[in-house]
Amino acid sequence: SPDKTPKHFLDINELPLSELKRMLAASSAMKAKQKAHQPVRPLEGKTLAMIFERPSTRTRVSFDVAMRQLGGEPIMLTGAEMQLGRGETIADTARVLSRYVDAIMIRILNHDALLELAANATVPVINGLTRRSHPCQVMADLMTYEEHRGPIEGKTVAWTGDDNNVLASWAHAAERFKFQLNVATPPELAPKKAMRDFIKATGAPIMLGTDAEAAVRGADCVVTDTWVSMGDKEGEHRHNVLKPYQVNAQLMSLAKPDALFMHCLPAHRGEEVTDEVIDGPQSVVFDEAENRLHAQKGILAWCFDAVK
């Protein structure tokens, strides 16, 4: 019925594990079909508005292509070109767009603005990255891990770097999918109270620390990300305190011999990761990038109630 609450995709920890698994299964099925040149088109006649307040290569292109391959149509918008840039409220923008399109994907730093959009939209809203989280990325990463190594449940993932949006979504995933997450950050860039409260409230298997070697030792997967996220102030200081968290061959050698290396990209080679690691045999960074396309098909199909 038109009154039912839209199926938003805002954060991984807001959805039951069974639904997340359905999305991933749908993603894999659609990927296989696409590779076999038997594309499926469950979104025929549907339109997705994509709003970008920040730059993007992967998210923008993969959502655009995903909509086209599924038979739907994307509309690319940037905040600055909309009345949003001149002060129209997020809530009114949500109400208006809901009259035209069937779903909205947004990349906006302010997480509360995402929530306000979702609260006022009558169509599904998808989080395409905020300051707080990046759930689409981690769905692609889970898919990638499981393609290479089977179920992630019970495995150990190590994060080394600063506390950021991608880490938050990994933490949400650790709680849902029940894998160990070892986090190493410089003390001053450690996860904030919200993450500590989340761990306490849920009992998620997450260990917060400051020692990169301790986090990586024996891990099945090593993950890092840029030292300067969108919205962070650049600065020598960040680089100095993050230097010991670089994923290089020496750090990687402490993980399991068959450990995977993951990075959401874009990478800053020579900073958070060396060429040797990101171009090495354990790296699956371009599989992750490809899987943004496939994982998002599962997310889109789920939002549109088109997952079989």
Pick from 47, 210, 229, 248 the residue near ligand NVA by CB under 6 A: 229
Range 254-273, binding ligand CP (CB under 6 A): 264-265
Beta 260-263 vs 180-184: how paired, if at all?
Answer: unpaired
Provide the minimum distance between the beta carbon of 54 and ligand NVA in the complex, in angstroms, as a whole number. 8
Range 138-167, binding ligand CP (CB under 6 A): none
Q: Would you say 50 and 105 are in contact if contact means Cβ atoms under 8 Å apart?
A: yes
Q: Would you say 42 and 70 are in contact if contact means Cβ atoms under 8 Å apart?
A: yes
Provide the minimum distance between the beta carbon of 117 and ligand CP in the complex, in angstroms, as a whole number. 18
Q: Which does 165 bind (CB under 5 to 8 A by kind): ligand NVA, ligand CP, none?
A: ligand NVA
For tokens 């599962």, name the residue.
298
Locate the DSSP E strands across the chain.
47-52, 73-78, 103-107, 125-127, 156-160, 180-184, 206-209, 221-224, 260-263
Considering the candidates 58, 111, 132, 134, report the single residue annotated as catalytic.
Answer: 134
For tokens 């449940």, name the residue.
153
Range 141-170, binding ligand NVA (CB under 6 A): 164-166
Active-site annotation holds for 225: yes
> Exposure string (b/e) for 202-238, b if CB count within 10 Å is 16 or more?
eebebebebebeebbeebbbbbbbbbbbbeeeeeeeb
The 3-state secondary structure of 226-286 reads CCCCCCCCCCHHHHHHHHHHCECHHHHCCCCCCCEEEECCCCCECCCECHHHHCCCCECHH
Nearer to ligand NVA, 47 or 229 (CB): 229
Considering the candidates 107, 238, 263, 294, report the single residue annotated as catalytic.
Answer: 107
- Separation of alpha carbons 120 and 96, rounded Å: 10
The site map against ligand CP for 100-139 (x = CB under 6 A) is -----------------------------x-------x--
- If one asks whether residue 230 binds ligand NVA (CB under 6 A), the answer comes out as yes
- If one asks whether residue 202 binds ligand NVA (CB under 6 A), the answer comes out as no
Stretch that binds ligand NVA, among 40-48, 85-93, 221-229, 254-262 (CB under 6 A): 221-229
Q: Which does 260 bind (CB under 5 to 8 A by kind): ligand NVA, ligand CP, none?
A: none
Phi first, then psi, for residue 154 (nearest 5°) are 85, -5
Active-site annotation holds for 197: no
- If one asks whether residue 254 binds ligand NVA (CB under 6 A), the answer comes out as no
Taking CB atoms within 8 Å and a gap of at least 24, the contacts of 236-239 are 238/162, 238/189, 239/271
- Separation of alpha carbons 11 and 247, rounded Å: 27
Provide the minimum distance between the beta carbon of 172 and ligand NVA in the complex, in angstroms, as a whole number. 15
Q: Which does 225 bind (CB under 5 to 8 A by kind): ligand NVA, ligand CP, none?
A: ligand NVA
- Separation of alpha carbons 53 and 63, rounded Å: 15
Nearer to ligand CP, 125 or 208 (CB): 125
Read off the tokens for 4. 């039912």
- If one asks whether residue 56 binds ligand CP (CB under 6 A), the answer comes out as yes
Residue nearest to ligand NVA (CB): 229
Size of the site for ligand NVA (CB under 6 A): 8
Residues with a known catalytic role: 107, 134, 137, 225, 264, 292
Q: Which residues bind ligand CP (CB under 6 A)?
A: 56-59, 129, 137, 264-265
Q: Which residues bind ligand NVA (CB under 6 A)?
A: 164-166, 225-226, 229-230, 264
